[in-house]
Structure 1
Amino acid sequence: MQKEIVPPIAKKKPHTLVKHQQQRIDDYYWFNERENPDVIAYLKAENEYYQASTAHTKSFQEALFEEMKSRIKEDDQSVPYFYNGYYYITRFEKGKDYPIYARKKGSLEAPEEIMLDCNEMAQGHAYFHVTGISVSEDNRFISYGVDTVSRRQYTIHVKDLETHEVSPIRIENTTGGATWASDNVTLFYSRKDPVTLRPDKIFKHVLGKGCETDELIYEEKDDTFTVSVYKSKSKKYLIIESESTLTSEYQILLSATPHEKFKIFQKRVRELEYSISHFEDHFYIVTNKDDAYNFKVMKTPEGSTSIENWVDVISHKEEVLIEGIDIFKEYLVVSERFDGLNKIRIIPWKNPEQAYYLPFELETYAAYTTTNIDFDTEILRYAYQSLAIPSSLFDFNMRTQETVLLKEQEVLGGTFHKDHYKEERIWATAEDGTKIPISLVYKKDIVLDGSHPFLLYAYGSYGMTMEPYFSTTRLSLLDRGFIYAIAHVRGGEDLGRKWYEDGKLLKKKNTFTDFVACSKHVIAQKYTSPSHLYAEGGSAGGLLMGVIANTNPELYQGIIAQVPFVDVVTTMLDDSIPLTTGEYDEWGNPNEKAYYDYMLSYSPYDNVCEQGYPNMYISSGFHDSQVQYWEPTKWVAKLRCSNKNNTKIYLDTNMEAGHGGASGRFEALKEVAKEFCFLLDLEKIKS
């Protein structure tokens, strides 16, 4: 007889939390003791339970991994882009997990110079990630950040591309990004608070000197703001950005004079958001000034940058969200969003009345400008994809309006044909009557009779728009009869800025009720049924998963919650935890009773109750800097004691990774294979 696999039961150690004269008892507060051997033992026990319970799917997981890997071109490379005399290329070699960053001088026929081979650099590390690659204007030096823990605390290195020597200098605890001044020896970078991991300081480093001599240029004292530094596309200015959820402030300095002081562009004003781009003798500004909640474009002389000098270039429209601009010598390119879809508008500087849009015809797609570094060109580079169309990169001639396809993402294996799938955009009706868009994809031969497995994904926070993107891994579900959908719930910016405003702070519950409305709609329209409906979300989307598990468990056969933010009140009251103070404009400050009460009313951990819960696969990373590992751990422990259904609740903690999961191009596929096997096993699909 097979031995019963018993889930671990965590010890209860009641801990009293008091706020606003209210008491909460947290039985699992002790899980935040990272060094406690009992914590490590429990996490290992949960992993062992998950492994034992899913042992029968192990070979299927491996087969899925190989299947998904087989669709990906291993010896792939990016479309080269030209910058400052060099073509830059990122490529992958067969059998290797990490990118190689290379360049060619003047011509694509020139010999390749390998700047960084991340496969060599990653040797000996369980986790490895490079970010913030920046080349000096004389093309000699490259700076880059390395993280070998997955806590997003990067160490900046500098390499001489002529001698191939890496400087012994290590600049630790940074965001990874750095910006070169025009003198090619001065480097500006942002450093993080070692406890909260908030980027709060800008330093200046001079090559040839030790880090101990690095000069503090700016310190952001407001703990709701983060800081970064970059260079304008024109290369003329170094720019420091201070940003919170609702407010921004910039400082500028001529790149040719890096030892002078930065000057405030426009001092911060609560709820004034703006971003800046330099062109000729003006700065162009995308801003919400004058209640332009969907943003507008303004400009100001570079010598007079304060707000009283700003004048309109593109006025605000209630129905059109301006997401960004790209400036060229002869054209202004505006990225817009209308009715939930991307639009790219081309405006000639000399004849603005001749403006036009790039033509896109599908009812659901994603289109966006990409690497457009040069000013003096009539070529715009943009990307396009949909749920059924692989990502494609185009060069568009803004003068002749001719389009050239540079590259379409290859799907290997010979079985994928985009015309075998159907895409739709449908609309659900929320509790308050608001229409919520849903993007769907499925095989064309499916009959909508309610019998098909259906995976509904959403995020719904921070104004993040969830584009209907193409995925080669998703084909492993679609080809087995799944319908896949994205619910564009409020809290994202999918239908403009108000869509975001109506899903945050004291309106946050709209995010959750929108998702439930979408779930009920696809059931009512016979796309699926509760016995075949699955929900998925990660991080803040994991919060959404936690809420719907409490409020509407009867709608779902299973839920996937990746690194879920579920202990909302306790986390937001702890300002030592990374990200907390900067999040007050998103969730509210629970030190104020109104926000405390509202958060407490939906916080998934606080609202776990004795009822039947769906099957759940919950993933976590021990080194996660965004959502601490103890949040999903506490949640699972509490769910185990409350669940009245005979369902499986799994906690799978990667002890070597953080918020983004495993590093490496293919290692991440193993995590996807686990999630897919969780779904397929519940559907009794064995191969």
Structure 2
Amino acid sequence: MEAMTVDAPALVTPVPPPARKVPFERTHHGDTFVDHYEWMRDKESPELIEYLQRENAYTESVTQHQEPLRDAIFTEIKDRTQETDLSVPARKRGWWYYSRTEEGKQYGIQCRVAAHDTGDLGRDWTPPDVVPGQPVTGEQILLDGNDLAEGKPFFSLGGMSVTEDGTLLAYCEDNAGDERFTLRIKDLRTDELLPDEVPNIFYGLSFSPDGSRVYYTVVDDSWRPYQVRAHTLGTPVADDVVVYQEDDVAMWTGFEVSADRTQLLISIGCSEYSEYRVLDLARPADGLTTLISRDERILYDAEPVTIDDARYYLLTHDRNAKNSMVSLVAADQFTRPLAEQDWTTVIPHDDAVRVNGVTVTQTHLVLSVRKDTIERVQVLPLAGLGTPEQGLPAEPDFDEELFTSNLANAEFDSPIIRLVYASYLTPPRVYDYVLEDGTLELRKETEVRGGYDPAQYVAERQWAPAADGTLIPLSVVRRAELAQDGTNPAVIYAYGSYETSMDPSFSIARLSLLDRGIIYVTAHIRGGGEMGRSWYEQGKKLTKKNTFTDFVDATTHLSTSGWADPNRVAAIGGSAGGLLMGAVANLAPEKYQAIVAQVPFVDALTTILDPELPLSALEWEEWGNPITDQEVYRYMKEYTPYENVRPVAYPRIAAVTSFNDTRVLYVEPAKWVAQLRETTTGSEPIVLKTEMDGGHGGASGRYSRWRDVAWDYAFAADAVGATEVLSRSTSLVE
């Protein structure tokens, strides 16, 4: 009898879903672009939703082999995180406020315990000893995010405010991921919700000092915050008062209550100039007063302050000061023409120091500055401010080269300010800084479980030469034992827009890459704010291409420095950094094994040409206005990723997006992926992953976010061949 043979099952190669092509012509300045995938913009289309679901199935099939790696990274993040934890309590009036998390629960829990006044400064301002996982005597739960999120596809808080007497809590929540929040009021004496409910508000809210009103913002149809409204408790929403409305589609509107709780400060601005309208909260019927008109084209922030019973404003401004400076101006000066006003310099302009802003306590000015790429906090007594007796700002001293020091809390009547310190190697630390004598009290260092040892890692500054000779700062983090032998895998990350700085920070998730031998590089490219205002201006509008070429030059430096194998480099960027990913994919696809583009702004020209689309008009100050300016149109058309896809061998690419994102619409990466697949001459997979219930930040809940991070990191690590954790006993250095 002859032996029987059984054929092995053939391996089935996943096939991406076909994208229907429908020509759509867009014509501006005599130029016509034919867009075959614009039909995907119809969010209500059943065909579109089915297409995205098929794309998700294809992505899952193509990346299925990465699932064990994703699970491993997720588990590493989870095991290193102190899941049952809490923030350091911060005092406001008669209460200590804090948040805590519990193991197995997705969302934070907002709490408070009563404070006591004994007359002893040290005792009264020392946070209570609250231990993770142990019951807190007298604890009152204000909001439990887990209860609020129950049965909802998405949950995010958009702001909280407590009345001065501590009896009422205002909060707003988003249950779709579209950043439209519902305002609710809770009576903290009874734990009951008041009947007041205001739908469709934007981030930020604040009670009036007397607790009778809640101020909030509203967005227009293009998602631009344009109104500040006031809701009086116990009245119909239809009766809410529009305190201010901004009709210029290129201006963003926001508000805050001044540190001394006397004024509502309404800020109207773009990235190049601003305007403040102020409301005296003791006399709201008097209406708004303008400080400096936008017509003066000054970019400024304002904070009222009382010194020796006289009323002033502290202005952080760029008037004859590219990096900004701080001036003290008497309140009555603003009734005079600008040229006739008397301004006193408090913090002079410095070409090497970027002044970010100020806040005040009852006794001190607290200053945020950036020097040598590093953000720092400085303090200065109000006594003698603007006089010859004024001293120099004091600055807390830290001993690492690359770190970030931020102001976390500065209550007006507090003798301390709360600082958060972190670096690439040091988990976040919370300090109280005593204003009177400058002492630092360490209140907490975030625990990293599993035996984290910072000595096993190195964080250092490198400088990459750009083609025009400019030196680009790089922050390079790696395992200490790696050798400079040209064999290491690397991940390079950047953002590079809106003067946003990518500051040193600690990341538990990043340890999963480092422990697989990956060198992690943050490129501080032009368009960001790390090197001052000029650094930003050299990467916006008609110099925007510097952002992209800086990133490519940084990659070249990394590959030629001996630290990275040029064939084992992956790139990651999100939002405007996703535009960066699309641009460098077109400029230098051969330099990257993989690109992860998170909520990527890859169809920038189409978006900005339509002012009706969310936030489009606000982007003109960043990219230019291609509607009215033919040169801007031409320049943007030369780099916008979707329109510059070309027949080359693209690396493997993952475009990760959210269906309800209002900042970068899902349609941009969807169209881009379809065009890439149609055009590429290579065989690497190009995938689209859409979170159907998420927003700009992806899914809600910490475990869901950890899985999102694990997915992105696994995609990159798999591409550069770094899937296994290095042995702790392995030394690559002789």
TM-score, normalisation: structure 2: 0.91
Given candidates 588, 608, 630, the residue that maps to 2:645 is: 608
Contact 2:560 2:566 in 1 (8 A): no
Aligned residues: 684
Q: CA RMSD in A?
A: 1.6
Paired with 1:464 and 1:76, the residues of 2 have a C-alpha distance of 30
Contact 1:181 1:256 in 2 (8 A): no
Paired with 1:251 and 1:486, the residues of 2 have a C-alpha distance of 39
Question: Which position in structure 1 is the counterpart of 2:226?
Answer: 200
Deviations 1:415-443 (A, max 9, x none): x1011101110101111111110001111
Question: Which position in structure 2 is the counterpart of 1:357?
Answer: 395
Offset, 1:328: 3.2
Paired with 1:585 and 1:342, the residues of 2 have a C-alpha distance of 25
Offset, 1:530: 2.4
Offset, 1:571: 0.5
Deviations 1:512-538 (A, max 9, x none): 111111111111101112211111100
C-alpha change, 1:13 and 1:256, in structure 2 (3 Å) is same
Structure 1 range deviating more: 603-612 or 396-405: 396-405
Contact 2:396 2:440 in 1 (8 A): no
* 2:157 pairs with 1:119: no
Which has more radius of gyration?
2
Paired with 2:440 and 2:29, the residues of 1 have a C-alpha distance of 61
* 2:625 pairs with 1:589: yes
Offset, 1:105: 1.8
Q: Gapped runs of 5+ residues in structure 2?
A: 1-9, 117-127, 129-135, 725-734
5 Å-filtered alignment, 1:179-328, equals 179-193=206-220, 195-269=221-295, 271-280=297-306, 281-305=310-334, 307=338, 308-328=341-361
Paired with 1:165 and 1:211, the residues of 2 have a C-alpha distance of 19
Question: Which position in structure 2 is the counterpart of 1:159?
Answer: 186
Offset, 1:354: 5.0
Question: Which position in structure 2 is the counterpart of 1:459?
Answer: 495
5 Å-filtered alignment, 1:271-670, equals 271-280=297-306, 281-305=310-334, 307=338, 308-348=341-381, 349-350=383-384, 352-353=390-391, 355-377=393-415, 379-414=416-451, 416-591=452-627, 592-670=629-707
Deviations 1:196-234 (A, max 9, x none): 111111222111111011122211010111212221110
Offset, 1:176: 3.6
Question: Which position in structure 1 is the counterpart of 2:95?
Answer: 86
One-letter code aligned to 2:184: H
Deviations 1:456-500 (A, max 9, x none): 100000000110111001101101101101100010110001111
SS at match of 1:169: strand
Paired with 1:582 and 1:347, the residues of 2 have a C-alpha distance of 35
Offset, 1:577: 1.0
One-letter code aligned to 1:124: G
Offset, 1:269: 2.6
Contact 1:177 1:190 in 2 (8 A): yes
Contact 1:566 1:631 in 2 (8 A): yes
Contact 2:461 2:473 in 1 (8 A): yes
Deviations 1:374-399 (A, max 9, x none): 3451x232121111111111112243
Offset, 1:304: 3.7
One-letter code aligned to 1:203: R
Q: Gapped runs of 5+ residues in structure 1?
A: none
Paired with 1:286 and 1:457, the residues of 2 have a C-alpha distance of 35
Paired with 2:269 and 2:643, the residues of 1 have a C-alpha distance of 31
One-letter code aligned to 1:508: K
Contact 1:274 1:285 in 2 (8 A): no
TM-score, normalisation: structure 1: 0.97
SS at match of 1:465: coil
Paired with 2:631 and 2:289, the residues of 1 have a C-alpha distance of 39
Offset, 1:300: 1.7
One-letter code aligned to 1:490: R
Contact 1:246 1:270 in 2 (8 A): no
C-alpha change, 1:375 and 1:434, in structure 2 (3 Å) is farther
Structure 1 range deviating more: 92-101 or 262-271: 262-271
Deviations 1:311-340 (A, max 9, x none): 322211111111122323443332221221
Offset, 1:289: 4.1
Given candidates 4, 9, 16, the residue that maps to 2:25 is: 16
One-letter code aligned to 1:624: D
SS at match of 1:357: coil
Deviations 1:226-247 (A, max 9, x none): 2122211101111212122212
Paired with 1:460 and 1:53, the residues of 2 have a C-alpha distance of 31
Contact 1:153 1:173 in 2 (8 A): yes
Offset, 1:183: 2.5
Paired with 1:380 and 1:205, the residues of 2 have a C-alpha distance of 31
Offset, 1:259: 3.9
Paired with 2:594 and 2:392, the residues of 1 have a C-alpha distance of 52
SS at match of 2:65: helix
SS at match of 2:644: coil
Deviations 1:107-142 (A, max 9, x none): 448611111111101001111001210111221111
Deviations 1:630-649 (A, max 9, x none): 00000000000111112111
Paired with 2:208 and 2:138, the residues of 1 have a C-alpha distance of 28
Paired with 2:357 and 2:706, the residues of 1 have a C-alpha distance of 32
